[in-house]
Amino acid sequence: MSNPTAAMVVIGDEILSGRTRDSNMHFLAGALNEIGIRLREVRVVADEPDEIITAVNSMRQSYHSVFTSGGIGPTHDDITADAIAATFGVAIGVRADAATLLQAHYDRMGQPFNVARQRMARIPEGALLIDNPVSTAPGFTLGNVHVMAGVPTVFQAMVASVLPSLVGGEPLLSQNLRLLRGEGDIAADFGALALQFPELSMGSYPFQQNGQHGTNLVVRGTDATKINNAMAQLHTLFDSAHAPSNTF
């Protein structure tokens, strides 16, 4: 498929330590697929400059766009902006337009725009600001890398700010058939069907729910007619025989 591709870097000591469960990956995956951009890889790395630089450098060369989440706040552990500047080999400093936005925000709140908060106006040279309607402090885009906050509400707002600037493609459509049968029961027929539709991607995902075991068969692709045809064949193959099963 020739759809644009994307990757994500989660700057994530909090995720890797098990304290927080990431939700930004799931949000971004859904948002990108809706506009036909394929999220192809995600890396969760530690809050360390070398790790961030290595991951971003590798991914910005392999994918059309890269999204990062986390590490752009006012505290000492917020190192992402500096790491991105180092990745591109450009200077970084407090930028007037970002500082003006933040100054006005903290004036409205009756809070000081202190040295720590000025840190959030440090933007690598040549970047475009990403609008943050939730809490003002901007993200930024440098080359094909979009640098965004880790707080989910802010991350989501920044994704909404960035999406209109991206070139999308054909949305990835999918349909699902839920069977109360083990994967091993349907594997042969399902695999044979997948061979008949090389332009579709077919996956099977076992589940356990309320004491029942079963399998979700998922058909993905960009051609709605072909997906409908494949789903019709799946129904023919399996509808007459979805007796409950307790096996995988």
Of 187-216, binders to its own copies (CB under 8 A) are 187-188, 190-191, 194-195, 201-208
* Least distance to its own copies, CB of residue 11, Å: 11
Tokens 């720590």 belong to 116
Answer yes or no: are the C-beta atoms of 175 and 218 closer than 8 Å: yes
Q: Which stretch binds its own copies (CB under 8 A): 38-46, 92-100, 161-169, 227-235?
A: 38-46
- Burial pattern 17-44, b for ≥16 Cβ within 10 A else e, equals eeeeebebbeebeebbbebbbbbebbbb
- Residue-by-residue DSSP string for 103-165: HHHHHHHT----HHHHGGGEEETTPEEE--TTT---EEEETTEEEE-SSHHHHHHHHHHHGGG
* Least distance to its own copies, CB of residue 57, Å: 14
* Interface map 159-178 toward its own copies (x if CB under 8 A): -------------x-x----
Binding to its own copies (CB under 8 A) within 83-102 occurs at none
Binding to its own copies (CB under 8 A) within 40-59 occurs at 40-47, 51
| Cβ within 8 Å of residue 97, ≥6 positions away | 129
By CB under 8 A, how many residues form the interface with its own copies?
77
243 binds its own copies (CB under 8 A): no
Instruction: Work out which of 2, 18, 164, 198 binds its own copies, going by CB under 8 A.
Output: 18
| Cβ within 8 Å of residue 123, ≥6 positions away | 81, 92, 93, 94, 95, 98, 129, 138, 140
Q: Which stretch binds its own copies (CB under 8 A): 88-96, 111-119, 160-168, 224-232?
A: 111-119
Answer yes or no: are the C-beta atoms of 221 and 192 closer than 8 Å: no
180 binds its own copies (CB under 8 A): no
Q: What is the DSSP code (8-state) at residue 5? A: E
Facing residues of 220 across strands?
174, 201
75 binds its own copies (CB under 8 A): yes
* Least distance to its own copies, CB of residue 185, Å: 7
Nearer to its own copies, 88 or 155 (CB): 155
Instruction: Work out which of 4, 36, 143, 182 binds its own copies, going by CB under 8 A.
Output: 182
